Amino acid sequence: MLAATIATQSIEFYDFMIYGMAASLVFNKQFFPAINPVAGVLASFATFAVGFAARPLGAVVFGHIGDKYGRKPALLGSAVAMAVSTTLIGLLPTYSMIGAAAALLLVIFRIGQGIAVGGVWGGATLLAIEYAPAKRRGLFAAIPQIGTFAGLIAGIGVFMVITKVVSPEQFLGWAWRLPFLLTVVMFPVIFYVHRYIEDSPEFHEVEKTMAARSEERARDSSVIQVLRRPKYMLTVAFIFIPATVVFYMSSTGMIDYGVRDLGIAKPTMLAAVMLSVVGAAVSTLASGWLSDIVGRRPVYMGGVILAGIWSFAMFPLMDTKDFGLIVLALGVAQVALGAMFGPGITLFAEMFPPKIRYSGASMGYQLANILGGGLAPFIMVLLLESTHTTASASAYVAAVCAISLIPLSLAGRLQAQSREQEPVEQTG
């Protein structure tokens, strides 16, 4: 079951993240060539952010499908929606072919990606938590997140290979489409993975539980119940914002900064990001394991504090243009991210009673991605261009980290309230 959730996350986030790579490297030229380069980058990152705006809709739509019809159709539907949207982006005519309609279609397909990824996260992650031993939930919840980093590494690797074997002109002209079109070969993998999940005894047990509670959900859906207690969802969102900001600034925004502002070669920046993501994967597993021993909040708080402080060292190290120091700059940021990713998923799940956990954790998580991750590269470029100093971007990261410490301090109280509403063994 864990292998299946990792594979599902990998496929979904490969598709979602290659858009970020293309937004950093090519979309400003192919879809927004009529405006100046900086405005083109901002417009490109704006379309990147649109996908995040659609993610809560995916959490609601596929969460409802998963509650009413079972998890297999919800997970399968979200995976197919992602594969179709991504493939269509690879086939999309550019501005030079159909004018402004190209940008409009790009936004539509990006929305499709956002809806899809908003649906898969809750099912894959919470399935792992639900069947984990009570004292190992942190580790079991961290394991599926490896799929997120595996998808990112795979996406970067594909772009690295392409930029190595084709000329810059060929990459800009047609080769950028290849990572998107490779999604076609993933359709058989998608169906295999979801067939495996269907055959899992644990999955069938969940289906039986959902069927037994269908009458209750018909009277009052889990989405409505979550919206009636917004403080839970908002607490999750504001706790998780720093993780989303760090993730997308260090994996997407920094590619643009290194290539466009510092003149670093595309393959070099892609290699640096890929190496740094390995640090995030290791940190996520280690932090999830540690949270089972010392608690979720202390580990998460350590990641937040490290991210806020390190943001002021990251840009100066990048500015040296030394490959080793660039990897160090991004790697420590990714380690801080892992310290939030590892315990965070279980922390959020434990803030909701089981009957609304799927919708509540998913909606809070996706709201954080709107407010943080989706806007992070856009805000980073805007700050750098308007202030002409990297300190402004560092201050932005430090500010969101500091703000998140307030709701993090309230998480324990909400966990206690959740236990009172529906007792379940948890770790604070």
Higher pLDDT, 25 or 110: 110
pLDDT range class, residue 239, cuts 50, 70, 90: very high
Residue 404 pLDDT greater than 90, yes or no: yes
pLDDT at residue 423, as a whole number: 42
CA 130 to CA 36: how far, in whole Å? 50
CA 116 to CA 42: how far, in whole Å? 24
The pLDDT tens digits for 119-146 are 776 666 666 666 666 677 778 777 777 8
Structural domains in the chain plus CATH codes: 2-421 (1.20.1250.20)
pLDDT at residue 175, as a whole number: 93
DSSP annotation of 422 = S
Contact of 86 with 183, CB cutoff 8 Å? yes
Rounded mean pLDDT of 241-268?
89
pLDDT at residue 339, as a whole number: 94
What does pTM read for this prediction?
Answer: 0.76
Looking at this protein, which amino acid is placed at residue 260? Answer: R
CA 396 to CA 389: how far, in whole Å? 12
CA 238 to CA 54: how far, in whole Å? 18
pLDDT at residue 424, as a whole number: 41
The pLDDT tens digits for 1-52 are 566 667 667 777 788 778 888 887 888 888 888 777 777 777 887 887 787 7
pLDDT mean across residues, the chain: 81
Helix 230-248 with 357-368: angle, nearest 10 deg: 40
Three-state secondary-structure class, residue 324:
helix
pLDDT at residue 105, as a whole number: 92
Q: At 268, list the tokens.
A: 């070099």
